[in-house]
């Protein structure tokens, strides 16, 4: 959570080389649970062999009145996968079996966590520099799937960017947890705040209502007390 109100306007940048094709996802505005959802496809037209084979993924918090804050980044070298696609002339995915046979021993520092239900989806650990300690620390993780196709195969079976049609291989559903426009101001406010801050707001509102009621009935209470005291004296 990068914003003071306990939320984050998260999006991702990904590239092989910052001087070439840098692409971004859409933005998950006002994410309140630390788990932004994207379901977003990035397409790259790359040549092989090439100098840069490392793929970098960066998470950012979008700001409108200052520069965007980087949350963390991860890098994975796809040299072996690119070379195998070039040799066999077939599309390949970075799946669990291929990773264990080719990449696991070669890149021991690469931290990969595989999805339990899909052996083509994995999680890369994001890292960032702590400005206070000046040390590199974990900053979360991102779930991705990487597929590389020969140009001829890709042109015969095209897929759309983001969630555009044709949407397949894999099919990407609409992301969950996004802002929903509502004419109800309370619902809109609850979506703009983190659950913890929203709970505090509700508590303060309840306290304000209780104080207002107490102040409203205070004259009656004092009047009753004074009347009782006067009757006792008489």
Residues 104-124 pLDDT 10s: 989 988 888 999 889 899 999
Q: Do residues 151 and 93 touch, judged by C-beta distance below 8 A?
A: no
Question: 212 pLDDT exceeds 80?
Answer: yes
Average pLDDT (30-36) is 89
Q: What is the pLDDT of residues 150-163, one digit of tens each?
A: 999 999 999 999 99
For helices 185-192 and 195-233, angle between their N-to-C axes, nearest 10 degrees: 120
State the pLDDT confidence band at 4, using cuts at 50, 70 and 90: low
Average pLDDT (21-27) is 95
SS (H, E, C) the chain: CCCCCCCEEEEEEEECCCCCCCEECCCEEEECCCCCCCCCCCCCCCCCCCCCCEEEEEEEECCCCCCCEEEEEEEEECHHHHHHHHHHCCCEECCHHHHHHHHCCCCCCCCEEECCCCCCCEEEEEEEECCCCCCEEEEEEEEECCEECCHHHHHHCCCCCCCCCCCCCCCCCCCCCCCCCCCCHHHHHHHHCCHHHHHHHHHHHHHHHHHHHHHHHHHHHHHHHHHHHHHHHC
Q: CB neighbours of 18 closer than 8 A, spacing ≥ 6?
A: none
pTM above 0.75, yes or no: yes
In percent, the amount of the chain with pLDDT more than 90 equals 56
Q: What is the pLDDT of residue 196?
A: 66
Average pLDDT (70-99) is 94
């Amino acid at each position: 959570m990068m914003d003071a109100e306990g939320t984050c306007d998260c999006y991702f940048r990904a590239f092989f080389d910052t001087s070439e094709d840098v692409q971004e996802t859409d933005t998950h505005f006002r994410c309140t649970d630390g788990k932004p959802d994207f379901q977003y496809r990035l397409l790259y037209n790359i040549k092989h062999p090439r100098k840069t084979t490392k793929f970098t993924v960066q998470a950012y918090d979008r700001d409108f009145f200052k520069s965007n804050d980087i949350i963390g980044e991860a890098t994975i070298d796809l040299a072996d996968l690119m070379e195998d696609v070039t040799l066999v002339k077939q599309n390949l995915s970075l799946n669990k079996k291929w990773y264990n046979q080719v990449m696991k021993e070669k890149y021991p520092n690469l931290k990969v966590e595989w999805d339990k239900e899909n052996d083509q989806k994995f999680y890369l650990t994001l890292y960032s520099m702590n400005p206070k300690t000046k040390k590199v620390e974990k900053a979360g993780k991102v779930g991705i799937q990487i597929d590389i196709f020969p140009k001829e195969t890709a042109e015969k079976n095209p897929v759309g960017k983001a969630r555009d049609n044709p949407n397949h291989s894999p099919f990407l559903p609409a992301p969950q947890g996004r802002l929903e426009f509502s004419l109800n101001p309370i619902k809109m406010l609850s979506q703009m705040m983190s659950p913890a801050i929203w709970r505090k707001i509700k508590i303060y509102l309840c306290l304000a209502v209780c104080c207002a009621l107490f102040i409203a009935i205070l004259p009656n209470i004092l009047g009753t007390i004074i009347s009782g005291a006067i009757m006792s004296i008489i």
